[in-house]
Every structure is written in structure tokens, then in C-alpha cells.
Structure 1
Amino acid sequence: MEHSLSRRSRADGTPPEDFAEEARQAWRNAQDALKQAGVAMTDIVSVRTWLTDTSTVRSYVDVRNPKPPETPGGSEQ
């Protein structure tokens, strides 16, 4: 069985289309590993991330900190 942390591709084996999809997969892998250990993302105290390509920073931030949904009328609560 392949360890979930080594999975960088989609379930069908194809590579992610872009960095944001790869980052989302990496966090799904982390969640899977935590679940296997009997803990959850809420148990994480700190995460340190190094990105080697500055063009990926915005995508990574968007994946890690999704915008809250807007309320009807266009204002956020």
C-alpha cells in the first residue's frame, strides 16, 4: 500500500493541473495521515511552509486561507 504522504497525483494517477490543486492534495494527504494517527487538523499547533517559487505564494495562501462565503447582498458577516 502506498503511503498517503507520497501521493502527489489524483486518485486516477494523473498529475495535478496546477500548483493550487497540488497544494490542496498535499493538505488532503496531511489530513489522511493525521486521521490514521487518530488526530485531526485541529490538533496542529503550528505549520511552517517553505515555497521555493514566489509565483506560487498567492495560490498557496488561497488554499490555506479560503475566503469566507459572501452573504446575500454581497457583504461579509
Structure 2
Amino acid sequence: MAIISCPERSVKNWQQAASHIQDHSSPAQHNSLKSRLRRKLHAQIERWLDENIANLVDDALQATPQSRTKPVDKSK
């Protein structure tokens, strides 16, 4: 079974950092920081998706036909 982690904590940390810096910087610096943080966040999400998709594909490839289908009830 694939283990699916979640980047929610990273998102919260980035948002807190951006909020703190927003209070102490010029609009140009703020926009630059937001852009950098957004790119980093998107890269983290992309890595997270790639890892989880790879795990799901790996699990699917290792599954046997019996584990992918419901057992057939032959008593009927």
C-alpha cells in the first residue's frame, strides 16, 4: 500500500513566513518573496504528487489479478 504524505504543514509554514515578511517589507520585496515562495511550494507539491503517483503505479504493477477483483461467489 502506498503511503501518501501531505504537504499541508509546509504550506502553513510558507504562509506564515510570507505573512511575517509582508508586515516588514516593501511591496516589491513582498511580490518577489511571494513569487519565490509560490515556486517553491509548487515544486514541493509536484515532487509530492510524483512520489505518490509512482507509489500507486508500483502498487498496481505488483498486484495480482485476485487482489484487484472481488472474489467470485461460485456457490450461486
Please report the TM-score for the alignment, with normalisation by the length of structure 2: 0.31
Higher relative contact order (CA 8 A, sep 6+): 2
Structure with max Cα Rg:
2
Please report the TM-score for the alignment, with normalisation by the length of structure 1: 0.31
